[in-house]
Structure 1
C-alpha cells in the first residue's frame, strides 16, 4: 500500500519536477537523462504529452532525413506563440509550397543585400554599450536583433512607428513567454490558448494606427492588446509597401508581397501576418542568444579571440565591408562551434505517421520523438573532446547536417539560418574589433531555459572597454 501511494505521488510530481529542472539548466537535465535512461529515454513534462528523447546517431539520422509521409513536425508548445498558418506548424504539400515561396527572401543574394543595414544597426547599438560597469550582454544583442528584424524583414523606417512596433514586439514576446500565458496554455492546450489570445486581441486590432493606444493592465489581456496592436501596425506597413510598390524595395515583406504560388495567387493578408510574426519569434531570441553564447566562448578562449581579430583585420583591409564577412572563415567556425556546444534549441521533435522500429523498440504511429540537438552535438562517438571549444574542427571538415543541426534539419530546417549567420558574423566582427570584452569573474555561467530557447544565465554578465 505504501509503495503504491509513493509510486503514484512520484508519477504525479515527476512531470512538474522535470519542467522545473529543464528551466533551471536544460543541458544538465539532458546529460542526466541520458546517463540514467539511455539514448531513447522517456520524458514527461507538465502540460505536454510523453516524448521519447533520442540521442543515438543512427536513429537520429533516420528521423532527420525522414519524409512527409513518414513523419510530421511536432511543435511542442510552439502553437501557443504562433498562428496555425505559420510555416513552422505546417506539413506536406502546404509546407512545401510555402517554403518554396519564402526561400528567395532568404537566399544568399537577399541576405547579402541586408548587410549594410545590419552593420549600421550593429554599430549604432554598440556605440551605446555601458563602460566601466558589469552589464548583461543579452540586452544589446536583443536590441540589435530586433532592430534588424524590423528594418530588414518588415521594412519599417526609423521613427515613431518603428519605436512603437519595437517596444510592442519586445513586450509581447516577454508576455507570451511568461507565466500567465504558459498557465493558460497548460489549462486549455497551447492551440486553444492561442485562439483565445487572438479573440482577445480584436479590440486593439480595431484601433486606427494613428490613434494612441494603451494596452490593458489585466493578465493575458495585456498580452492580447499588444498582439492586436502589432497586427494593426503590420497591416499599415503592408498597405504602405503596396503603395510604395513592392518592386522598389528589397525587405522580406516586399519580397513576400511580390511572390506568387504556382497558380499565380499571392499570399493572403492573414498568412502574411502569420509568417511575419513567426519570423519575429523565430529570429529574435534565437539569434540574440546564439550571439551571447559565441561571446561567452570567445571571452573565455583568448587564443581564439586573437585569431578572430587578426582575421577580421586581414580580410577588412581598407574598411569594413559587410559583403566580405562571408570570407571570415575562422569566425564562421567559431559560430558553428559555439552553436554545437550551446544550441539554443535543445531538440527538434517529430511525430510518427507510421509505425517504426527504433533502437530495438516498436513504436506506434503517433509516438513523439525529440531528437536531442544538444546530446548529439556532444556525442562522444561523433566528436573528439566533445565538451571542448575547438573551432578548428569546423575548418578541418564540415560536419554532416545529421550530426550538427543547431538550425534543425531535414525539410523543416530553419528558413532564416543564412540570415542569422550573416548577422552574427557582422555583429561579432564589429564587437571584438571595437571593444575589449571581459567576463564577470565572480559569475559562473550555465544554460537556463527561457520559453523555447536556452540562453546563458544572468544574460551573460560582461564588461567592455574600447580598443585604443
Structure 2
C-alpha cells in the first residue's frame, strides 16, 4: 500500500514516543512533513495518516460515508471504558439513532437551567479555600465540572449519591493519569486482572461499582417517572426512535458513562488551562475583568456566556492546548487523492486538532497565548476544531463551552488569584487528554470587588 510521507523512525520507537510524548512526536513529524504524514503508532491499526491541512480536513469531514467514513470500531481501545453501545463506538444507522436520541439534552431551556448551578458551584468551591495557601487549580475545576455534569445528567448535586460518585469517578480516572497507566488501553496484552492491587484489576473493580450505581439510578428513574424532571437520564429514558423503541438498560448505561467521562475531565482540564493563561498574562486578566465589570449587578449566565473577550479567551485556551489532540478517525472508502497523495481504500485518516491549531499560516506565533486572534478573525470549522467535526462532532460542545465560560467568569470576578510558579506550564498526557503537567499551582490572595462597587462605596463614604 502506498502511503504519504512515511515517518522513517523505527516502528517500536514511534509507538513509545507516541505513548510518552504525543505532542513532541507530532511536532517532530510535522517539521518534516507539514501537511500530511504517515505514522506507525498504537491504537489505530499498524499505520495511520495524520492530516492538519484545513482543505484536506474539510474534505475528510464533509464526505462522511462517501469517500471517508467514521468507523466506531477504530475506537475499540475505549470499549473497556465506555461499553459497546456508546455513541463513540457505533457507526452507520446505529450511531445516527443514538446521536439523535442524546443530542436534545444539550440545547434550549436545559442549558439555561444549568447556568446558575455552574456559577454557584464555582463560587462555593473557591470560597472554602484559605487565603495564601497553595492549591492545584485542576483539582478544583474537576470538582466544579463533576457537580455540573452530575446535576445535568442525574438532577442531583447534594447528598449521599453525589458523594458516592465523587469518590468513584476520580479514582476511576486517576488509574490512567500517567502515560504509563494510559498504555493499558493501548496495549491489550497488559489488560490482565492480577488482583485488586494490579492496575487493570483496580480498573475493573472500580468500573463494577460505577456500573452498579448507574444501573440502580436507571431503575429508580424508570420507577419514579416524573415528566417535570429536566435531567439527561430522564430525557433518555423517555426518548423513542422512529420505530418507537426506547434505549435498553445497557444502551443507557453506555451513554451515561460516555457523557460523564467526556464532560467531566475534559471540561475541568480546559478550565484549569484557562485559569493558568488568564493569570499568566496580566493584560489578559485586566481586559477580562473590565468586560465582566461592565455587566453590572444584573449579569445572568446567558449574558456572561455571550461576552466577546471571554469567548476569545476560551477559544484561545482550546486552541493552544486542545484537550483532545485529534478528531475521530476516518477510513478511506475508495481510491482517491488528497493533497496530491494517492490513498487506497482502507487507509485510516486522523485529522490532527493539535497540529492544525499550531499552523503558522493560520495562527502566527502559535505558541503565544493571544485571545485577540478570535476577535480579529473568524476561523472556519476546519481551521479551529477543538470539538472535532462532521457527524462525530462532540454533542456536548455547547454545554462544555457554557460551563467553561461561567466557571472562569465567576472565579476571576470574585477572587484575586496568583500563580505560585511562573515557569511555563507544560502539557502532559492524562489518560486521553492533554492536561497541565503540574496541575496549575495557585493561591488566593483576597476576595475581589468590582470597580463599580468600589466607586459606589467611595462615593457613599465621601458624602
After TM superposition, the score normalised by the length of structure 2 is 0.87
Aligned-pair CA distance for 1:187: 3.1
Q: Where in structure 2 are the equivalents of 1:216-231 lying within 5 Å?
A: 216-231=196-211
Aligned-pair CA distance for 1:397: 3.7
What are the superposed Cα offsets for residues 196-220 of structure 1, whole Å, 9 maximum, x if unpaired? 88xx9xxxxxxxxxxxxxx944542
Give the Cα–Cα distance (whole angstroms) in 2 for the partners of residues 139 and 289 of structure 1: 9
What are the superposed Cα offsets for residues 243-282 of structure 1, whole Å, 9 maximum, x if unpaired? 3324121111111112111111211111000000001111
Q: Where in structure 2 are the equivalents of 1:19-418 lying within 5 Å?
A: 19-22=19-22, 26=23, 28-46=24-42, 48-49=44-45, 50-69=47-66, 70-73=68-71, 74-75=74-75, 77-175=77-175, 179=180, 182-183=183-184, 185-188=186-189, 216-315=196-295, 317-348=296-327, 349-418=329-398
* SS of residue paired to 1:88: coil
* SS of residue paired to 1:58: helix
Q: 2:442: which partner in 1?
A: 462
* SS of residue paired to 1:118: helix
Give the Cα–Cα distance (whole angstroms) in 2 for the partners of residues 218 and 51 of structure 1: 31
Structure 1 runs of 4+ with >6 Å offset: none
5+ residue gaps, structure 1, are 1-7, 201-214
Contact 1:72 1:352 (8 Å CA) reproduced: no
5+ residue gaps, structure 2, are 1-7, 449-463
More displaced 10-residue stretch of structure 1: 324-333 or 252-261: 324-333
Give the Cα–Cα distance (whole angstroms) in 2 for the partners of residues 246 and 391 of structure 1: 44
Q: 2:5: which partner in 1?
A: none
What are the superposed Cα offsets for residues 434-463 of structure 1, whole Å, 9 maximum, x if unpaired? 112222335331111111110111011222
Q: CA RMSD in A?
A: 2.5
* SS of residue paired to 2:149: helix
Give the Cα–Cα distance (whole angstroms) in 1 for the partners of residues 9 and 335 of structure 2: 32
Q: 1:210: which partner in 2?
A: none
Give the Cα–Cα distance (whole angstroms) in 2 for the partners of residues 181 and 20 of structure 1: 10
Contact 1:176 1:223 (8 Å CA) reproduced: no
User: How many pairs align?
Assistant: 435
Aligned-pair CA distance for 1:114: 1.0
